[in-house]
Amino acid sequence: MNRNRLLVGALLGCALFTGLFSASCSKDSTAFEHTTMRPWFDSKCGSCHGSGGSNRIQWAYDPNDYTGSIKGKISKIYSVVYNKRSMPPGGATQTELDAFKAWYDAGYPAK
C-alpha cells in the first residue's frame, strides 16, 4: 500500500512539475498589431530582420512574438532607431521618428 501511495505521489508530482515547467517556458503568442508601428516595422525592418532576412542574427523581427521580438529588445531598437539613427538603412523621416518616439513614450504597446 505504501508503494502505491509513493507511486501515485511521484506521478502527481511529475505531472505538476511538467505542467508548471511547460507553462513557464511557453512562447508568448502576443502579436504585434499596433496600427501605426506594425506597418512601419514591417516595411523598415522586415526585409532584413524578418523571416529569411540576412540580419536575423543581430535581431529577429517576428510580429507574431511581440514580447520576444520587440518588447524584449526595445532598448536596443530605441538606441539604433532614435538615438544613433543608424537604423533603418537609409534613415527615417522626422515624421517617422516622431511617431516612433510617441509610441515608445506610450510604453511601446503591442496594439
Place of cell 511601446: 108
Q: Could you say which DSSP state residue 73 is in?
A: G
Q: Is the pTM of this model over 0.85?
A: no
Phi, psi of 49 (to 5 degrees): -105, -5
pLDDT digits (tens, 9 = 90+) for 53-110: 888 888 999 999 999 999 999 999 999 999 999 999 999 999 999 999 999 999 999 9
CA angle 51/24/72 to nearest 5° reads 45
E strands, the chain, are: none
